[in-house]
């Protein structure tokens, strides 16, 4: 009975939160207050959040699933976005004006525009009616302008002219002649003025045919379909097709600080195949292989995140341990260092491309040979 009441209440909460987004009425269904009293207040009190008036998130992307989970419990979380160079927040969502998947709008006194940039020339792109199937022509670099923008990076003249020239070059690259700070983030703006980040230009995959592919939405979609996946890294820059490296949720990771043990962790992870309790066994298990393969197939068929065949993932590999801060693959705030991961696992990446003609999409992991082993083979 408690479970039925909780499901009923969370349904009320979710529908209310969805109706609070831009374009909605913000109405509360019949008996919402009862759901709040019976479930929301009690759950939030157990979480220590009963006094929370304004929830915000920033620094790294948050999934819509997480926002909807807390929204169903009556807690709205608002996204904010900015850079150190822009004195922190430049766009913000507020309870009265927000949209899941958007980092909000520019407050008064701050300008935000989306430009396509070619050399020193930039062109503002068109706004979109909504964030579904945003065409490439309506995406560009998110740029800021206003009194909140830094004056520049500080150089130390005592370190010499070469150092000063280097810092000046960084300033010129960050802020153009019209005062626009270039964020390096790729995004779009809807007709309400809400901003959505679709990728980071340093992370954009450029396929062999010149296609621009945003890996993050694809990675997030696969992870949402596979609760047992901890990290997923899509690779395909200047390659004929895309592949991905997968890590599974393991114990003793210290919240991402460490690579963790061989033991799988979490009810949903262990439920994939109850007979498999370690990563090493999962790497050889057909049920785990199909579990991940099905999620990749569904994502490849999702036109919202894979708008073309060039964006699809064709092969994947499960790594023997998770990515970590200690291993250098994650930043202290757990952001992915894509280049480091690609460098650390280049041997398996090259092996996956070497097996392009193999029909199976799953390529088992093989350890890199040490110098001693190579010499012995010779």
Cross-sheet strand order for the sheet of 55-57: 55-57, 77-83, 88-92
Check residue 335 and give its pLDDT. 82
DSSP string, 11-58: HHHHHHHHHTSTTS-----TTHHHHIIIIIHHHHHHTT-TT---EEE-
Chain centroid to CA 243? 17
338 with 198, same domain?
Answer: no
Nearest to 291 by CA among 306, 276, 309: 276
pTM for this predicted structure: 0.66
Q: What is the pLDDT of residues 272-330, one digit of tens each?
A: 999 999 999 999 999 999 999 999 999 999 988 888 888 999 999 999 999 999 989 98
44 with 172, same domain?
Answer: no
How many structural domains comprise the chain? 3
223 with 327, same domain?
Answer: yes
> Mean pLDDT score of the chain, rounded to an integer?
87
332 with 213, same domain?
Answer: yes
Q: What is the CATH number of the domain that holds 130?
A: 2.30.38.10
184 with 212, same domain?
Answer: no
Q: List, in sequence order, the alpha helices (H) in the chain.
A: 2-19, 32-35, 41-46, 64-71, 161-174, 215-225, 267-271, 279-282, 286-300, 338-344, 346-354, 371-377
Of 66-70, 310-314, 347-351, 370-374, least confident by mean pLDDT is 370-374
Q: What is the pLDDT of residues 227-283, one digit of tens each?
A: 899 999 999 988 889 999 999 999 888 888 888 899 999 888 998 999 999 999 999
| Cα distance between residue 288 and residue 88, in whole Å | 42
Identify the H or E element spanning 247: strand 242-248
116 with 52, same domain?
Answer: no
194 with 221, same domain?
Answer: no
| Cα distance between residue 320 and residue 263, in whole Å | 11
149 with 225, same domain?
Answer: no
Q: What is the pLDDT of residues 149-199, one digit of tens each?
A: 999 999 999 999 999 999 999 998 899 889 999 988 888 999 889 999 887
Which percentage of the chain shows pLDDT scores above 90?
37
Mean pLDDT of 75-85: 89
Nearest to 319 by CA among 255, 265, 362, 376: 362
39 with 7, same domain?
Answer: yes
Domain range spanning residue 119?
81-92+100-202
């Amino acid at each position: 009975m408690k479970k039925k009441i909780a499901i009923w209440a969370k349904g009320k909460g979710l529908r209310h939160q969805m109706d609070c987004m831009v374009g909605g009425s913000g109405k509360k269904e019949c008996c919402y207050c009862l759901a709040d009293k019976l479930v929301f207040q009690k759950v939030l009190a157990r979480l220590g959040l009963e006094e929370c008036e304004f929830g915000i998130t920033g620094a790294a992307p948050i999934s819509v699933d997480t926002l909807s989970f807390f929204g169903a419990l009556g807690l709205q979380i608002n996204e904010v976005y900015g850079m150190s160079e822009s004195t922190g927040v430049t766009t913000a969502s507020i309870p009265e004006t927000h949209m899941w998947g958007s980092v909000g709008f520019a407050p008064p006194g701050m300008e935000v525009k989306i430009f396509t940039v070619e050399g020193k020339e930039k062109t503002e792109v068109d706004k979109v009616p909504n964030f579904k199937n945003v065409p490439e022509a309506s995406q560009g670099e998110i740029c800021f302008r206003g009194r909140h923008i830094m004056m520049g990076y500080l150089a130390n003249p005592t370190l010499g002219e070469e150092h000063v020239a280097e810092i000046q070059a960084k300033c010129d690259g960050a802020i153009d002649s019209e005062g626009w700070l270039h964020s390096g983030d790729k995004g779009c703006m809807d007709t309400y003025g809400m901003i959505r980040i679709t990728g980071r230009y340093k992370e954009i995959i450029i396929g062999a045919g010149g296609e621009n592919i945003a890996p993050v939405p694809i990675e997030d979609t696969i992870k949402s379909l596979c609760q047992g996946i901890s990290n997923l890294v899509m690779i395909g820059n200047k390659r004929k097709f895309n592949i991905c490296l997968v890590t599974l949720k393991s114990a003793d990771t210290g919240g991402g600080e460490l690579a963790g043990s061989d033991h799988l962790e979490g009810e949903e992870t262990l439920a994939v195949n109850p007979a498999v309790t370690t990563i090493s066994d999962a790497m050889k298990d057909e049920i785990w292989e199909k579990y991940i393969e099905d999620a990749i197939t569904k994502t490849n068929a999702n036109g919202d995140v894979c708008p073309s065949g060039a964006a699809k993932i064709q092969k994947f590999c499960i790594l023997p341990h998770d990515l970590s801060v200690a291993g250098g693959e994650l930043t202290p705030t757990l952001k992915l260092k894509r280049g480091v991961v690609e460098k650390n696992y280049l041997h398996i990446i090259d092996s996956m491309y070497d097996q392009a003609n193999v029909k199976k999409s799953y390529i088992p992991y093989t350890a890199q040979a040490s110098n001693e082993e190579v010499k012995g083979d010779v």
